[in-house]
Structure 1
């Protein structure tokens, strides 16, 4: 990818460049799915985390679990989850706005003092559209979108996934390259200067 293409992936709607990666091992917990789906979701997370060269763990010493993924049918269900409003202040108001917008997914990130990702909440409302998506595709898409703090516009026009040989869904090679490069130890855990995109593009060339 060219540097301007990398830059676009992390330039938000307000024009701010912001790229952040996880600063600690990822400890996921998934709510609202059966065991078979749970294994698919965790498998997708493990694959993307391995691609990044990052780590997963059994528990987070501060939070217990630091990646919480919720599957549900209606936004009104979330405020009824015990203690979730303590983790996500203003949850009821947020859900009301998302319901009014007919949104089917939303992600909230929390950051450490240095700006790296320390926790994330992923909310997935299984509307008719998402219910028609194969679970492997949905799981991989969510794993990709939570491994980095992408721009709010990064995948508005094009999915991070593509159809591979034999009809299998896979991560687009250039997006995989960006993930590997951003997690390279020589790069910072968080960047707010667009010059960071030049470094990411350069690392992609070296890691290819």
Structure 2
């Protein structure tokens, strides 16, 4: 992908496996909490979330008035451990069959979302099984990847072939790919809807990505 995505590339980012277009962004400040990690990793995860939230022009919060925390990260080694988390089955309907399915699939990660009456993201749950290849991923890379993937409701295959991150060849630092950063920022434009089910939404995102390019071409700031 080029640094400026084409409309069809943007549309693909929010197209579900059944072919439907489904977009949503957070409609409230994000209050994260992290379970199952050291204090050092906790700081890394929260720092990654804050970085992506800042990029989007959105807000963080210490607590959510309804839920306390509305973005929950769970780090564990076996899926069955989730069944021992108090009240998690109340937040994730059908938790037991879901855990059984993910265990059988030998899945490494899973994300679940809840939405408000406007279709905006109300809460998100990130489950990361830290075994095998997942356990070898640097904490900073893992945290930034997960922060990006809960900032919007992406299609299931949005990053199946190309990571949202890139490694700078000159120093080896990992960054968010500029084209994905642009989509996130455009999605949180205050004139854009918090949720959309029509693919014309992708054209509106594309128009907002074009605007900075046009300003640069005209010599404007």
Task: Give the TM-score range, shorter chain.
Answer: over 0.9
Partner of 1:154: 158
Distance in 1 (CA, whole Å) between partners of 2:76 and 2:165 is 23
Partner of 2:218: none
Gaps of 5+ in 2: 214-221
Residues 105-154 of structure 1 show CA distances to partners (whole Å, capped at 9, x for unaligned) of 00000000010000000000001101111000000000000000000010
**SS of the counterpart of 2:192?**
coil
Computing the radius of gyration over CA atoms, which structure comes out larger, 1 or 2?
Answer: 2
In the alignment, structure 1 residue 203 sits paired with structure 2 residue 208: yes
Partner of 1:77: 81
Distance in 2 (CA, whole Å) between partners of 1:63 and 1:45 is 18
In the alignment, structure 1 residue 169 sits paired with structure 2 residue 154: no
TM-score of the superposition, structure 2-length normalised? 0.93
**SS of the counterpart of 1:166?**
coil
One of 183, 189, 197 as aligned partner of 1:192: 197
Equivalent positions of 1:50-199 (< 5 A) are 50-164=54-168, 165-199=170-204
Distance in 1 (CA, whole Å) between partners of 2:163 and 2:45 is 18
Deviation at 1:89, TM superposition (A): 1.5
Deviation at 1:93, TM superposition (A): 0.8
**SS of the counterpart of 1:200?**
helix
In the alignment, structure 1 residue 27 sits paired with structure 2 residue 31: yes
Distance in 2 (CA, whole Å) between partners of 1:127 and 1:94 is 19
Cα pair 1:181 1:207 within 8 Å, conserved = no
Partner of 2:219: none
Deviation at 1:207, TM superposition (A): 3.8
How many residues of Structure 1 are paired with residues of Structure 2 in the alignment? 208
Gaps of 5+ in 1: none
TM-score of the superposition, structure 1-length normalised? 0.99
For structure 1, which segment, 156-165 or 113-122, has the greater mean C-alpha deviation from structure 2 after superposition?
156-165
> Would the alpha carbon gap of residues 81 and 22 (structure 1) be closer, same or farther in structure 2, given more than 3 Å must change?
same
Deviation at 1:92, TM superposition (A): 1.1
Cα pair 1:73 1:125 within 8 Å, conserved = yes
Deviation at 1:90, TM superposition (A): 1.1
